[in-house]
Structure 1
Amino acid sequence: MPEAPTGPALFDLAGRTALVTGSSQGIGRALAQGLAEAGATVVVHGRDAAKAQRAADEITASTGVAAHAITFDVTDAAAVDAGLTELEARLGTPDILVNNAGIQRRSPIAEFADQDWHDLVATNLTSAFLLSRRVAKGMIARGSGRIVSIGSVQSQLARPSIAPYSATKGAIVMLTKGLCADLAPHGITANAIAPGYFATELTQALVDDEQFSGWVRGRTPAGRWGDVRDLVGALVFLASDASAFVNGQTLYVDGGMTAVV
């Protein structure tokens, strides 16, 4: 039996393949970059094929590690199956799956539209189930794998106008525990990362809103918005041998927001 890695080698992802859904921009893009910098062969996923390929090319150019691009609808089971079949033919079953794809909809609960609810559940929750179910088949056959799903501080805390979003992110926590129960006997870990308030292209309007930004800084013990690079260490940890005995857990990367009242 080969010796178990120690020290920095615990975090080395060389020789592993990682699929990050919704990774052509925002948090997903930073996560894909971070995995590549740790040595993983990254598969960038997005709805826009050209945008996903551009992100993959940028990652390859900046890290020297080959990155690939793929496009499929994460909310459709047949599309997920076809996408993973294509990916497996090219690179094999991913060693690491990051369920990052997500959307936000805001409206007072009494006015929340049916379609917005269905869109949130499909993109934020159903996609994580579909991807995890499909990739688990190959991971079980191989006897190893890492599944990391992206939750939110709204997995634990609620705010007005986003009750359905909070419901989907809360469900990610329990899906993660359920995946652990099913998959841990096969050498697979399933964990979640729950970001706090992060400055991205999608939150720029909120960042620019001084009143809201003031609330974020005041509510967060660290006193600032998160930078997407703050998430990379947590992901590399959960994707690597360093977290081999960590399973079914949700790691809050929120500057302390969920630790205080």
Structure 2
Amino acid sequence: TRALMKSGANVLVVSHSERGWKETSDLVKNTGQKIEFLKKDITDQNAPKEIVAKAKETFGHIDILINNAGLQRRNKWQEFEDEDWQAVINLNLNALYFLSHAVAKTMAEQKSGKIINIASMQSYRAGKFIFPYTASKHGVVGLTKAYADALATENIQVNALAPGYINTPMTQALRDDKERNTEILNHIPADHWADPSELMGAIVFLS
């Protein structure tokens, strides 16, 4: 959000809670851009329709969609619960598909648009404790390729970012595990967990 607004975009932020809304608003006060918030669980069946309607009502059109919502559940394979699989796949893959499909229809009408999906390093690796997350992120890359192919003639470009180890609440447990944290750092050439701000340039470029 910060990256896009600094670059001149108006932004509709959609999230299931209001966590971070005030801080985000404060960060962009001096950009001169407009920001709106919509509290919505994007796994709801009507979410794509409502999000598209809100964006068009607020800004008149949709130029960029960034699918950034994500969820991870971790467990040994013997103890993995079915509901954990469903929750992760519903948010990371199903919601991304349905929202992308709805937004693509609008973008096709205006013959322009950018869709950016947040994949993961796990899109290309095994994850022996995070099965649904790994499967969903492999699926995100597959959907990105399929939509990039299908929507190219509509002048819509579809890409994905596949970040490695990023310092976010989702990775807190790994960073708190001293042994695992050391193993991870030994495989990161930069020798540190990335801050989300390090992805700002890539997001702007793809937008």
Same fold (TM over 0.5): yes
Aligned to 1:133: 101
Task: List runs of 5+ in structure 2 lacking aligned partners.
Answer: none
Aligned to 1:4: none
Question: Matched residues in 2 for 1:99 and 1:202: separation?
Answer: 16
Aligned to 2:3: 34
Q: Deviations over 1:226-250 (max 9, x none)?
A: 11111111111111xxxxxxxxxxx
Aligned to 1:158: 126
1:43 aligns with 2:27: no
- 1:197-236 to structure 2, matched below 5 A, reads 197-236=165-204
1:107 aligns with 2:75: yes
Question: Matched residues in 2 for 1:79 and 1:131: separation?
Answer: 8
Which of 18, 26, 35 is matched with 1:67 structurally? 35
Question: Matched residues in 2 for 1:185 and 1:80: separation?
Answer: 23
Normalized against structure 2, the TM-score is what? 0.94
Which of 89, 94, 99 is matched with 1:121 structurally? 89
Aligned-residue sequence identity (percent) comes to 38
Aligned residues of 1:52 and 1:69 also touching (Cα < 8 A): no
Aligned-partner residue type, residue 219 of structure 1: H
Q: CA deviation at 1:203?
A: 2.2
Aligned to 1:77: 45
Aligned to 1:171: 139
Q: Deviations over 1:156-183 (max 9, x none)?
A: 0112211221000000001001111211
Aligned residues of 2:72 and 2:170 also touching (Cα < 8 A): no
SS at match of 2:192: coil
Aligned residues of 2:6 and 2:31 also touching (Cα < 8 A): yes
Question: Matched residues in 2 for 1:190 and 1:83: separation?
Answer: 19
- CA 1:83–1:55 in 2, change beyond 3 Å: closer, same or farther? farther
SS at match of 1:77: coil
Q: CA deviation at 1:202?
A: 3.0
How many residues in Structure 1 have an aligned counterpart in Structure 2? 207
Task: List runs of 5+ in structure 1 lacking aligned partners.
Answer: 1-31, 240-261
Question: Matched residues in 2 for 1:75 and 1:58: separation?
Answer: 28
Give the CA RMSD over aligned residues: 1.5
Question: Matched residues in 2 for 1:105 and 1:236: separation?
Answer: 30
